[in-house]
Each structure stands twice: as C-alpha cells, then as structure tokens.
Amino acid sequence: MILLIYSFIIGAFIGSFLNVVIHRIPVMLERQWKNECQELLAPNAKSPTLPKYNLAVPRSHCPACNHRVKAIENIPLISYLILKAKCSNCGVKISTQYPFVELLTATFTTIIVWNFGFSLPAFGGVLFTWFLIALSGIDIKTHLLPDNLTFPFLWLGIIFNYFSTYTDLSSSVLGAIFGYLALWSVFHLFKLVTGKEGMGYGDFKLLAALGAWLGWQSLPLIILLSSAVGAVIGIFMIVTKLQERSQPIPFGPYLAVAGWIAMLYGNQLVALYLNNTL
C-alpha cells in the first residue's frame, strides 16, 4: 500500500513536469526550424538573439501577467484546488490540462506499479507510460509526434528487451521494423487511392516504438484497438460537433491508449479472443 501511495505522489510530480514537456517542446522545435530556415534562405543574415528557452529555463510563469509561479503554487493537484484554478496575481483561469495530466500520470503510474510490483518491468512500464502521455499531449495540441521523443522511446524499448523484460530481443527489433512498415504501407496505399495523406510519419515511428517495447506479436492487437478507439471517439466528436469532418484527428493518442492496454492486458485479451473463437 505504501508503495502505491509513493507511486501516486511521484506520478503526480512527473505529470507536472510532463505539462512542461507538452507545452515547451513544440516551441523549442519551432525555434529550431526557424533558425534552420534562416540559415538556409539567408545564411549571411544575423539571427536575432532570443532569450534561452528549454525545459528548465525560463521558470514557470503565468502567460497573461508573467507572474513567476512559486514553489508553493506548483504542488501537483493541490495548488490548482487552493488557487481555485486561477493565477494568484492576475486571476486568469488556469487550464484544466494541468491537473488532468497530473492526475492521469499519477493514476496510470500507480496502476503500472500495482500490476508489476517493485520490479524492472514496473520501472520500464512507468517510463513507457510517461512517454505516451507526453507524446499524446503534444499530438493533440499540435498534430506532431517529435522525433526527439519517439526515437529515445523506441531505443528504450529495445534496451529493456535486451534483458527480455517484455519480450525477447529479436521480437523487439522485428516489432520496430514491422510497426513502422505497417502504417507506412497503409499511408502510401491510402495516398495512392485517394491522393491524400491519411496520417503523419510520426505515427509510423510511434507504432515502431510500441513494437520495440512489446514485440511484433502485439502489433495486430495495437492496430485493432487503436482503430476501434479512434473510430468510436471520432464518430462521437463529429456527431456532437466537437470536431469538423474535414478537420484532421491526431492518431497518436489512440495508438498510445492501445499500446498501454496491450502492455498490461495484451496476453489476456488475445487469450480471451482465442477462447471465444476456437
């Protein structure tokens, strides 16, 4: 019980950091792309000097009044309730994203630890969960799955499976290869038939990473689950007019949900399916 309580608390603090990752990495990438474009289009032009910006600098602050968030105002979940969802300086409403990500991370971290206990699979499982939450948050906001997250995520899966944590090493490597090729093939087939791009290359890399973590055997389940979840949520959002038909829907979060379910319950779901069909 004490381990689960610690897991929830640590998960909440990690969720607070993931909020920073979700907000800042797209900004950091935009700055990088602008600098690269400037160097390409005007190599002799002097680039403007911008203040340092990364995951640590500047300190967290209110976007409306630039009030620096104090440590006492940055306690996961609790500060949001004490501040009544408002900036302590100017009273501007704080986005519900912040407590939602903190609570989600804390809850899912606790579930992972409860399922695996104090073990190497639990350590890998919480890293797996944190990466998926960060990638999903960025994809929802920007329709991007950054390489500086998906590539380390993929390599971590292979490293953990070097020790056969979730599957054997050969299944892990084949999972990465087949995961990428599966959506790559769908992408090009869809483009050939319709002339449109149905998804981004980041989705290929994310499925490759999930394959690296869980092995090639998990890929059919992940693809099936993500498609089912995406279809249900997509139809619901269109029917309720939360989403326009012509507006693209990020697929990364659905892959993330499917991958997380597959890590915890993949074997049980496959066994249940086989028992009901044989």
Listing DSSP states for 23-45 in one string gives HHHHHHHHHHHHHHHHHHH-TTS
Task: Specify burial of residue 10 (Cβ count, 10 A radius: 0-12, 13-18, 19+).
Answer: middle
CB 161 within 8 A of CB 212: yes
Residues composing the chain: 278
pLDDT tops 60 at residue 68: yes
Residue 213 has a pLDDT of: 98
Bond preceding residue 250 cis, omega within 30 of 0:
no
Instruction: For CA atoms 73, 78, 80, 82, give the dihedral sign.
Output: negative
Residue 195 has a pLDDT of: 75
Q: What is the pTM of this model?
A: 0.93
Tell me how far CA of residue 267 lies from CA of 19, 25, 166, 167, 229, in angstroms. 32, 35, 11, 12, 19
Q: What is the mean pLDDT of residues 42-54?
A: 77
Could you give the CA distance from residue 100 to residue 248 in angstroms, rounded to a whole number? 23
Residue 98 has a pLDDT of: 94
CA 238 from centre of chain: 23
Residue 272 has a pLDDT of: 77
Could you give the CA distance from residue 96 to residue 11 in angstroms, rounded to a whole number? 17
The percentage of residues in the chain with a pLDDT greater than 70, rounded to a whole number, is 95
Angle in degrees, CA 149, 97, 51, rounded to 5: 60
Residue 133: both structure tokens together: 């939450």
With CA atoms as reference, report the closest residue to 164 among 127, 200, 131, 124. 124
CB 131 within 8 A of CB 206: no
Residue with the larger pLDDT of the pair 63 and 144: 144
pLDDT tops 70 at residue 276: no
pLDDT tops 60 at residue 278: no
Tell me how far CA of residue 200 lies from CA of 63, 155, 180, in angstroms. 30, 20, 12
**DSSP per residue, 83-152:** TTTB-TTT-PBPPTHHHHHHHHHHHHHHHHHHHH-SSHHHHHHHHHHHHHHHHHHHHHHHS---HHHHHH
pLDDT tops 70 at residue 108: yes
Q: What is the mean pLDDT of residues 157-161?
A: 98
Residue 277 has a pLDDT of: 61
Q: What is the mean pLDDT of residues 101-111?
A: 97
Residue 221 has a pLDDT of: 94
pLDDT digits (tens, 9 = 90+) for 206-248: 999 999 999 999 999 999 999 888 888 877 777 776 666 667 7
66 sits in the region (left: phi over 0; alpha: psi -120 to 50; else beta) called: left
Residue 28: both structure tokens together: 């950091």
Find the helix or strand (DSSP H, E) in which 208 lies.
helix 201-214
Mean pLDDT (the chain) is: 89
Which range (96-100, 171-175, 176-180, 273-277) has the least confidence?
273-277
Residue 229 has a pLDDT of: 84
pLDDT tops 90 at residue 51: no
Residue 50 has a pLDDT of: 76
Residue 245 has a pLDDT of: 64
Residue 134 has a pLDDT of: 98
Bond preceding residue 58 cis, omega within 30 of 0:
yes
